[in-house]
Amino acid sequence: MADSTAISFTCNPLAEILANTGINAEVGGTVIEYADYGNTDVTYKGTLGWRPYGISETAIRLVPSLETFIPKAGMVSVSHDVLETGRMVEIPVSLVYPTWYTKMAANGSATAVITEPGSPITTTVDESPPAATNFSIVVASATGLVVGQELGIITGSSTYGTQEEYVVIKSISGTTVNFVNPIFQLPADGAAVRVISEKKLSSIVCDLPAAKQIRIVKYDRSNGNIRIDHIQRAKIKAIAGADDGDGKVAAKYGFTIEALPEYNAATSKYKFYDTHYIN
């Protein structure tokens, strides 16, 4: 069923802007997130199925442009004709705190995972009763788990999409495992958990990461609105890999997303994205 939850932000409004200028300024950070393409249970303002790319170096923005071309018939170019005009929309992304999926996207690669050698340590999530948070899960058995290990956890659900997320164990209390870094979607009961020895990015020639839904979420502090630019279908257009700079700043992972047109039955036209202003 369609996700009925709604995203929310909490922060102190910039009262000075309202008091001193009265201008309805769009002030605040932006977040870019992805979800499975074609999953109609994932909603543009919901919380289920969405995962962030990471922390952006700059504000995420849509970059629309007009494209013109000359109509052609067969191999004969038609000159001195009316130029056809269309649009394309790109999203340049540069992240200084990337998730693992972002590293895959920036390098045009696929992931290979090596589990603990010998007898692989695996367990499952115990959600009876539900107890998982973004920083902890309860497992069926904590045997073999040690602080400092990296875990691979299948998060999400079959309804909203699953993905393996990677965390480092901060502490263990009984069968409750706490993480150093968060997971973005909560796991379902019985979800697989494994100890990771090594992860590898394998650069691939083609078949880059599949099309995704994209949303850019911005909190307008002065007006109290949440603005969501929702792209129903987008794909990686260009990759930039990792920029290590001079070694004194965080590595930046960059790539470009191109919005792909989707047919809108309501208007009988193709569209790139919808912008929602939510009170």
pLDDT band at 15 (very low <50, low <70, confident <90, very high): very low
Distance from CA of residue 249 to its chain's centroid?
23
pLDDT band at 81 (very low <50, low <70, confident <90, very high): low
Q: Which residue has the higher pLDDT, 184 or 7?
A: 184
Assess whether pLDDT exceeds 80 at residue 9: no
* Omega cis (within 30) before 64: no
- C-alpha span between 145 and 122 (Å, rounded): 9
CATH 1.10.3470 fits 15-72+80-108+204-278, yes or no: no
On average, the pLDDT of the chain sits at 83
Of 84, 86, 32, residue with least CA distance to 216: 32
Residues 244-264 have a mean pLDDT of: 86
Please tell me the predicted confidence (pLDDT) of residue 63.
Answer: 86
Contact status, residue 124 vs residue 193, Cβ threshold 8 Å: yes
Of all residues in the chain, what percent carry a pLDDT higher than 90? 38
Domain regions of the chain by residue span:
15-72+80-108+204-278, 110-203
Please tell me the predicted confidence (pLDDT) of residue 50.
Answer: 92
CATH class of 110-203: mainly beta
Tokens of 141: 């058995």
Fold match between 15-72+80-108+204-278 and 110-203? no
Please tell me the predicted confidence (pLDDT) of residue 96.
Answer: 85
